[in-house]
Structure 1
Amino acid sequence: MRNIFILLICFICYQAVSYGQMADEHYYFKNLSVKNGLSQNTVHAILQDKQGFLWFGTKDGLNRYDGLSFRKFKHDDRARQSIGNNFITALYEDAKGNIWVGTDVGLYIYDPQKDSFRHFAELSVEKTKIEHTITVISGDSQGCVWIAADSQGLFCYNPESGKLHNYTLKNFPFISTNVQTLVFDNSGTLWIGCYGDGLFYSKDRLQTLHPYLSPVDRQATYANDVVMRIVKGAYNCLYIGSLRGGAKELNLTSNKLHDLLSVDERGESVYCRELLVASDNELWIGAESGLYIYSLRMGKYVHLRSSITDPTPCPIMRSIRCVRIGKEAFGSAPILVV
Structure 2
Amino acid sequence: MKYLYIVIFITAFSVFSCTTGIKQTKLSLAENNKYDNSNISIKNKKNKIEKKENARQKTKNTAALMLAQVKEAYNSGNFSKCLNAARELRIKYPFSDEIYPALYLSGLAEIKLDEPYRARYFFKRLLSLIRKNNSTSSQMKDLKYKTEVMLGDILYKEHLYNESLKYYTEAAKAKKRKEVSAVFLRMAEIFYYEKKNIHDARFYFLKINPEKIRKDRHTAYIQLKNRLEWENLLPEDLGINDGNISAVAADGDDLWIGTWNGGIARYNMSMGKTAVFKKGAESLVPRTVRTVEITKRRVWVGSFSGLSYYSKASSKWYAIKIFSSPEPVKVETIKSVNDRLYIGTLGEGLWFGTELNVQNFHRLDFPSQFINCISYYNNYLLIGTMDMGIFILNIETGKITNFRDLFPGFTPLNITTIITGWNTDLWIGTYGRGLFHLIKKSGRMEIYTKENGRILDDWILSSVKTANGLYFGTFGGGLIHVEKKGNIIKNISLKDGLSSLDISALAYARPLVILGTLGMGITIFYEDIKE
In the superposition, the TM-score normalised over structure 1's length comes to 0.74
Matched, 1:160 2:356: yes
Identity in percent:
17
Matched, 1:213 2:404: yes
Matched, 1:320 2:506: yes
1:79-228 alignment runs, 5 A limit: 79=282, 82-96=283-297, 98-122=298-322, 131-140=328-337, 142-160=338-356, 163-168=360-365, 171-172=366-367, 175=368, 177-186=369-378, 188-204=379-395, 207-213=398-404, 218-219=407-408, 221-223=410-412, 225-228=413-416
CA distance in 2, matches of 1:153, 1:62: 25
On the 8 A contact 1:44/1:88 being kept in 2, the answer is yes
Alignment correspondent of 1:329: none
Alignment correspondent of 1:287: 474
Shift of 1:261: 5.3
Task: Describe the SS at the equivalent of 1:307.
Answer: helix
Shift of 1:243: 2.2
| Counterparts in 2 of 1:262 and 1:156: CA distance versus 1, 3 Å | farther
Report the structure number with the largest CA radius of gyration.
2
Alignment correspondent of 1:73: 277
Alignment correspondent of 1:47: 249
1:257-302 deviation line (CA, Å, top 9, x unaligned) = 33355646488653222222223x5221221211122224334332
CA distance in 2, matches of 1:61, 1:278: 27
| Counterparts in 2 of 1:161 and 1:266: CA distance versus 1, 3 Å | closer
| Counterparts in 2 of 1:220 and 1:306: CA distance versus 1, 3 Å | closer
On the 8 A contact 1:260/1:299 being kept in 2, the answer is no
1:302-334 deviation line (CA, Å, top 9, x unaligned) = 2223338x9x9951211111114xxxxxxx110
Shift of 1:256: 3.8
CA distance in 1, matches of 2:343, 2:327: 9
CA distance in 2, matches of 1:144, 1:219: 31
1:198-277 alignment runs, 5 A limit: 198-204=389-395, 207-213=398-404, 218-219=407-408, 221-223=410-412, 225-252=413-440, 254-260=442-448, 263=451, 265=453, 270-277=458-465
1:17-38 deviation line (CA, Å, top 9, x unaligned) = xxxxxxx9x6533221222113
Code of the aligned partner of 2:257:
F
| Counterparts in 2 of 1:192 and 1:220: CA distance versus 1, 3 Å | farther
Count of aligned pairs between the two proteins: 289
Alignment correspondent of 1:16: none
Code of the aligned partner of 2:411:
Y
| Counterparts in 2 of 1:206 and 1:90: CA distance versus 1, 3 Å | farther
Which runs of structure 1 show a deviation greater than 6 angstroms over 4 or more consecutive aligned residues?
none
Shift of 1:119: 1.1
Alignment correspondent of 1:17: none
Task: Describe the SS at the equivalent of 2:314.
Answer: coil
| Counterparts in 2 of 1:263 and 1:273: CA distance versus 1, 3 Å | farther
1:186-240 deviation line (CA, Å, top 9, x unaligned) = 2x1111101132111122558332221276xx526134x3110012223222221
On the 8 A contact 1:199/1:222 being kept in 2, the answer is no
Return 5+ residue gaps in structure 1 as ranges: 1-9, 13-23, 325-331
Code of the aligned partner of 2:370:
N
Task: Describe the SS at the equivalent of 1:60.
Answer: coil
Alignment correspondent of 1:62: 264
CA distance in 1, matches of 2:469, 2:327: 37
Alignment correspondent of 1:336: 515
Structure whose residues are more often strand by fraction: 1
Shift of 1:129: 8.0
CA distance in 2, matches of 1:220, 1:205: 28
On the 8 A contact 2:455/2:491 being kept in 1, the answer is no
| Counterparts in 2 of 1:53 and 1:294: CA distance versus 1, 3 Å | same
Shift of 1:161: 5.7
Alignment correspondent of 2:28: none
CA distance in 2, matches of 1:71, 1:49: 14
- Please say which of residues 99-108 and 152-161 is displaced more in the overlay: 152-161
On the 8 A contact 1:107/1:130 being kept in 2, the answer is no
Shift of 1:247: 1.9
Question: What root-mean-square deviation, in Å, do the aligned CA atoms of Structure 1 and Structure 2 show?
Answer: 3.2
CA distance in 2, matches of 1:264, 1:71: 44
CA distance in 2, matches of 1:130, 1:144: 24
CA distance in 1, matches of 2:427, 2:454: 23
